[in-house]
Amino acid sequence: MARLEVVPWSMARIGMQVSLWRERWRAARGPSTPAVERDSLPGAAMLTRVMAERRMRQLTRRIGMALAAALLALGMVTAQAQDGGPADPLPELRDIGQTLDWQAMAEGPRPASVPLGPITALGGIADWVHLTGAGSRTWYTRRGTLRQMEGIYRRQRELLESAGFEIRTAGFTADRAGLGVGSNAWIGLYLGANPLPAEAPVLQGTDQPAQGAIVASREGAEGILWVVMLVTQPAAQQIGVLLDLTQTQRSGPAPPLGLQALDQGIARRGRVVLDGLHFNEAGGLAPESEPVLAALAHYLRANQRQEFRLVGHTEERGSLADAARLSQVQAEAVIAALIERHGIPRDSLRAFGLGPLSPLFPNDSEAGRARNRRVELVAGP
């Protein structure tokens, strides 16, 4: 695998250092001596001043050449990253001070197993998700001690949440004999199910007690991106982060919504996308929407004291007014079907149309546009 040593100085830092050195040179040299003033100096003093200024000019040229070489090296490293060397698969997850030391990219879809719970009393992890998809494995290191590990673990978790990932399970422990998520035994079971290649670095020192793990996922228009992140200490003054990514592809339309998904969506986020509803060009409901309507009616009857809003959304096409009107028609069609076919009272439901103003995904692909065409159930006050 290709290896990239990242230069620790950025262009901005080099520029700041140049300015600092220039000010120090001026302070050390003092005001320059005009030619007339030099002519009036005694012979020995004039020779001393001339030799000092010559040495300063030589030093300036040498430092300038060194800076040019540093800038050239930085440019070469940047070019290497752009031309196929290791690069951050998700730059938003890379923390300050980390160096990308190793990376393995899957050439095509490959199997991956993601654990979603701790080790049980039987000595294994009971809850796994088995995936197939494109992915990568990236190893970052930074200087740090055992005392800093938990803070770095928390920071990585914050970066995941800021990037829109849902934490599925996570844990940090300083007990090498523990069985929780992120324990030494848990990491061993994960790597046993997802072996690293022979050229991979050593993730954990034999006498380092602390480690952690975070499992997260993020839904996209094309499918779900899964993350497994291990925080370990390969050496006494070093902290490593293994970032494993697996991108699954949606094989077809989302399955029709069930009662359990409605319960969970409203409880966790206060809203849920009504996957499985289908509309014609005019915004009317298609017959194949009935299973979702039935589940929705069941949920609404079980929560009669709660007010709800049906909010329609469209992709970005045509005028804003037309898109808003179509999304309003679709939301009202759902309410009408709930009242007429399932006897849901009208006073607990209201319809709104937002058009393209609240997309879930970018509209630059058909998959994104299809996922943005939706009606959501939103809990009211």
- At residue 265, the 3 state secondary structure works out as helix
What whole-number distance in Å separates Cα of residue 185 and Cα of residue 207?
A: 14
pLDDT digits (tens, 9 = 90+) for 246-266: 999 876 666 667 777 888 889
Answer whether residue 272 shows pLDDT above 60.
yes
How many residues are present in the chain?
A: 381
For the chain, percent of residues with pLDDT exceeding 90: 48
Angle at 203 between CA 135 and CA 191, to 5 degrees: 55
Of residues 320, 319, 315, the one with CA closest to residue 368: 315
Class of domain 259-379: alpha beta
Q: What is the pLDDT of residue 10?
A: 40
Q: What is the pLDDT of residue 1?
A: 36
Answer whether residue 186 shows pLDDT above 90.
yes
Are residues 246 and 114 in contact, defined by beta-carbon separation less than 8 angstroms?
yes
- Rounded-to-5 percentages of helix, strand, coil across the chain: 40, 25, 35
Domain ranges of the chain: 11-82, 91-247, 259-379
Angle at 337 between CA 331 and CA 339, to 5 degrees: 105
Are residues 214 and 167 in contact, defined by beta-carbon separation less than 8 angstroms?
yes
Q: Where are the alpha helices (DSSP H) in 114-258?
A: 146-162, 184-193
What whole-number distance in Å separates Cα of residue 74 and Cα of residue 163?
A: 28
Answer whether residue 66 shows pLDDT above 50.
no
Copy the structure tokens of residue 87: 């690069």
The pTM of the whole model exceeds 0.85? no
Question: What pairing do the DSSP bridges indicate for beta strands 128-143 and 110-115?
Answer: antiparallel
Of residues 137, 10, 152, 134, the one with CA closest to residue 86: 137
Average pLDDT along the chain: 80
